[in-house]
Structure 1
Amino acid sequence: MKKIEAFIKEDRIEPVANALRGIDGLSGVTVIHAEGFGRREAANEREPSPEMIHDFRGVGRLETFCSDELVEKVVETLREAAHTGLRHDGKIFVLPVDDAIRVASGKRGPDIL
């Protein structure tokens, strides 16, 4: 099992969520509206500057859990739907999940996804 967490532009939340809805076997997605800041890049620099942007920008944080077999499909669907062709489209993280437990029944493992 894996947890896939993505930070994307706010205006891409709905297109990304709609694209993910089309994946058979993906049980759901959680969306959190957040604010954050990242590294500033000067227009004339080729490498990012360590100077930080201190004005917060709206971002969408999407989380989902899936089987190992679905990871590449989810990541590629998410990446394609979030991509605008501009800088700062976001980041996707894939993390291992050791166990999953359904609160109501106590059932465990990937079958609860």
Structure 2
Amino acid sequence: MKEIKAIIRPAKLRDIAEELHAIDGMPGVTVSEIKGFGKGKAKNAKDKILYEMVDFIPRVKLEVVVDDEMVDEVVNVIQKYAHTGNTGDGKIFISTIDDVVKIRTNERGKDAI
């Protein structure tokens, strides 16, 4: 199992969510509103937020845990629909998940996602 985290532009969320929803067997996605900065430190960003003298840019974080076989398909969808070609398009992080426990049923592993 892999966890895929993607930091994307808020304006791209709808398209990405629609395409992820269309993937057969997609277990679900968690979405969080976040803010941060990259190498450019948000100095010239049009949508920046000033918080205690530090510039941040609003972004959305998607998180999903999938079987190894689904990773490429999910990453490709995010890459395709998040891409604008401009600085600040975001990042995709892929991590290995050792185990998952479904709280309601106590299922573990693949059955829990």
Q: What TM-score bracket applies, with the shorter chain setting the length?
A: 0.7 to 0.9
Q: Match of 1:25?
A: 25
Equivalents in 1 of 2:40, 2:109: separation in Å? 42
TM-score, scaled to structure 2: 0.85
1:38 alignment partner, SS class: coil
Q: Match of 1:10?
A: 10
1:18 alignment partner, SS class: helix
Structure 1: 4+ residue segments shifted above 2 A? none
2:38–2:88 contact (8 Å) kept in structure 1: no
Equivalents in 2 of 1:35, 1:88: separation in Å? 12
Q: Match of 1:91?
A: 91
Equivalents in 2 of 1:27, 1:96: separation in Å? 16
1:106 alignment partner, SS class: coil
2:58 alignment partner, SS class: strand
1:1-113 superposed matches below 5 A: 1-40=1-40, 54-113=54-113
Query: Percentage identity across aligned positions?
Result: 40
Unaligned 5+ segments in structure 1 are: 42-53
Q: CA deviation at 1:85?
A: 2.2
- For these two proteins, the number of residue pairs brought into alignment is 101
Unaligned 5+ segments in structure 2 are: 42-53
Equivalents in 2 of 1:6, 1:69: separation in Å? 18
Task: Give the alignment's Cα RMSD to 1 decimal.
Answer: 1.2
